[in-house]
């Protein structure tokens, strides 16, 4: 059965800098986050529950991390060329250090924080927005070395304390994916435990509440007053290089719903927080809260088609990749067709198809004004647009992609990841769902963008849906 989605306005995640603004409450479906200006959670503000401290809040249930203490935070540590180890960290409860000023901006559903370490040439960006899963936020984290020398032993810590209503200070906690992603097993996990009260400074030990939680997987540990702390090691960060990965925060009305969302997002590891009352550790009612990571399994998102960069979903049918990096794999959403767009005058120069392990194709590539420029292109192939006037094309169509596995299918992993290269430094790559009644290529003028002076450079993927 085909699903048609009409074109929706493009929503930019490029946010307006704010001065003297300490944070924001953002909402995605039934979940709200309170994001501070340095990217950590637990912010006092007005939201769907009225004025209160928002950490990870579910409508009709309450907040899952703020009732006891504002213990959520992050930290980054690196080793300088001379061998000195330095860090920067933020946490409303355990304290801040080594972090300078920055820029913060927000909309009702997104928040972006960019800050820097005072002891190293490192910027840290946390960009929050709705994910592909309902009621779940995705935060893309980018750690960049803007200095002239390599920085070694890059470590990122994230810590949070579960305080799940109606039994705050007495929760069941689940960790899964820790063992598979330990550094010794090829992943990026240096340390994991249930110590939600740990300092955010990765130079200090993470400790534990229950010793059985250290560097292992467990289900329904507790009940106790505990949470999660994760340290990730990303090795050397070369000059000008950026390491990206994803954090997910969200909620569901049941454990099954939370697990389904995590499976659809393809996370590497996760923590669940559930109350210790009736139904809490079994059905996960009245709510199961989740905290998860992607891109920490030893492969950076976008480097391979199996670990693509995932989009933000600021509105139904609109999918965005802020500040896209050229020569990366991007995973599209599950719709009949959508528009790829770059801003800032950039041009697509190459598109690559996933390998034959993704059972799609062959496909055609169509460029308006030139017709079919590549017919029956096989999986694993790439096509260069560099021979076109200007060295690239503003729009192209890939047609005939079949079948499309439904994201609700239990065997779902990724859809049709595409390798994209482009010119310039665009601030946004978008995939905008569009109503399709025929294989015709939309005219560039039909794309539309409310922001004056911005030229959209578009490409359309046409998907045929098949139920499996």
pTM of the model: 0.84
Residue 398 has pLDDT above 80, yes or no: no
Least confident of 15-24, 57-66, 301-310: 15-24
- 9 confidence band (pLDDT: 50, 70, 90): very low
Strands, E, within 343-437: which ranges? 348-352, 363-367, 371-377, 382-384, 397-404, 418-422, 428-433
User: Among 17-21, 247-251, 408-412, which range has the highest average pLDDT?
Assistant: 247-251
Give the end-to-end CA distance of the chain in Å, rounded to a whole number.
11
Residue 388 has pLDDT above 60, yes or no: yes
What is the reported pLDDT for 368? 84
The stretch 13-34 carries a mean pLDDT of 72
The stretch 435-447 carries a mean pLDDT of 32
Share of the chain above pLDDT 70, in %: 82
- 463 confidence band (pLDDT: 50, 70, 90): very low
Please state, as a whole number, how many other Cβ atoms lie within 10 Å of the Cβ of residue 301.
Answer: 23
The stretch 23-46 carries a mean pLDDT of 97
Residue with more model confidence, 383 or 10: 383
The stretch 18-42 carries a mean pLDDT of 87
Q: What dihedral do alpha carbons 134, 136, 137, 139 form, nearest 10°?
A: -120
What sign has the CA pseudo-torsion 219, 222, 228, 230? negative
User: Among 167-176, 319-328, 344-353, which range has the highest average pLDDT?
Assistant: 167-176
Task: Spell out the alpha helix ranges (H) of 266-345.
Answer: none
- Please answer whether residues 131 and 265 qualify as being in contact, where contact means their C-beta atoms are separated by less than 8 angstroms: yes
Least confident of 59-73, 119-133, 431-445: 431-445
Share of the chain above pLDDT 90, in %: 68
Residue 10 has pLDDT above 60, yes or no: no
Q: How many residues are given for the chain? A: 468
* Adjacency order of strands within the sheet including 171-176: 99-106, 111-117, 122-130, 136-145, 242-252, 288-294, 269-275, 171-176, 218-224
Computed over every residue of the chain, the mean pLDDT equals: 84
Q: How is residue 445 annotated by DSSP?
A: G
87-97 residue pLDDT tens: 999 999 999 99
Residue 411 has pLDDT above 80, yes or no: no
40-52 residue pLDDT tens: 999 999 999 999 9
- 122 confidence band (pLDDT: 50, 70, 90): very high
What is the reported pLDDT for 415? 65
Integer CA distances (angstroms), 285 to 45, 66, 165, 276, 279, in order: 26, 19, 10, 10, 5
197-218 residue pLDDT tens: 999 999 999 999 999 999 999 9
What is the reported pLDDT for 332? 62
Residue 405 has pLDDT above 60, yes or no: no
Residue 106 has pLDDT above 90, yes or no: yes
What is the reported pLDDT for 462? 26
143-181 residue pLDDT tens: 999 999 999 999 999 999 999 999 999 999 999 999 999
Residue 30 has pLDDT above 90, yes or no: yes
The stretch 99-105 carries a mean pLDDT of 93
Question: What does 194-224 look like in DSSP terms, one character per residue?
Answer: S-TT--S-TTS----SSGGGTTS-EEEEEEE
Say if strands 62-63 and 56-58 run parallel, antiparallel, or are unpaired: antiparallel
What is the reported pLDDT for 2? 24
The stretch 224-231 carries a mean pLDDT of 98
Residue with more model confidence, 328 or 400: 328
- 341 confidence band (pLDDT: 50, 70, 90): confident
């Amino acid at each position: 059965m085909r699903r048609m989605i009409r074109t929706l306005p493009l929503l930019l995640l490029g946010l307006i800098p704010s001065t003297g603004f300490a944070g924001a409450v953002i909402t995605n479906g039934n979940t709200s986050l309170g994001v501070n200006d340095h990217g950590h959670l637990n912010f006092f503000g007005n939201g769907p529950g009225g004025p209160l401290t928002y950490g990870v809040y579910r409508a009709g249930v309450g907040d899952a991390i703020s009732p006891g203490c504002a213990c959520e935070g992050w930290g980054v540590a690196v080793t300088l060329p001379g061998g000195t180890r330095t860090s920067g960290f933020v946490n409303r409860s355990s304290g801040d250090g080594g972090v300078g000023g920055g820029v913060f901006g927000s909309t009702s559903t997104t928040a972006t924080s960019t800050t820097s370490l005072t002891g190293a040439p490192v910027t840290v960006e946390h960009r929050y927005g709705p994910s592909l899963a309902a009621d779940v936020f995705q935060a893309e984290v980018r750690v960049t070395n803007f200095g002239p020398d390599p920085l070694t032993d890059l470590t990122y810590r994230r810590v949070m304390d579960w305080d799940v209503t109606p039994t705050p200070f007495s929760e069941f906690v689940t960790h899964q994916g820790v063992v598979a992603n330990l550094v010794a097993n090829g992943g990026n996990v240096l340390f994991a435990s249930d110590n939600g009260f740990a300092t955010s400074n990765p130079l200090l030990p993470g400790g534990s509440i229950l010793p059985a939680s250290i560097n292992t997987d467990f289900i329904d540990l507790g009940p106790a007053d505990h949470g999660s702390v994760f340290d990730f090691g990303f090795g050397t960060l070369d000059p000008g290089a950026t390491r990206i990965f994803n954090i997910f925060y969200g909620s569901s009305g049941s454990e099954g719903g939370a697990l389904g969302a995590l499976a659809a997002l393809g996370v590497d590891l996760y923590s669940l927080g559930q109350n210790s009352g009736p139904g809490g550790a079994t059905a996960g009612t009245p709510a199961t809260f989740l905290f998860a990571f992607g891109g920490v399994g030893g492969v950076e998102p976008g480097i391979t088609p199996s670990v693509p960069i995932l989009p933000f979903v600021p509105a139904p049918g609109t999918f965005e990749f802020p500040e896209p990096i050229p020569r990366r794999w991007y995973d599209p959403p599950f719709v009949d067709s959508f528009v790829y767009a770059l801003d800032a005058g950039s041009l697509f120069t190459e598109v690559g198809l996933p390998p034959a392990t993704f059972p799609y194709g062959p496909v055609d590539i169509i460029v308006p004004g030139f017709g079919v420029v590549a017919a029956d292109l096989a999986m694993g192939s790439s096509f260069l647009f560099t021979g076109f006037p200007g060295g690239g094309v503003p729009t192209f169509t890939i047609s005939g992609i079949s079948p499309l596995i439904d994201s609700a299918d239990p065997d779902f992993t990724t859809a049709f990841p595409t390798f994209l290269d482009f010119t310039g430094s665009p601030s946004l790559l978008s995939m905008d769902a569009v109503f399709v009644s025929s294989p015709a290529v939309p005219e560039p003028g039909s794309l539309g963008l409310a922001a004056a002076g911005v030229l959209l450079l578009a490409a359309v993927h046409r998907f045929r849906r098949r139920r499996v």
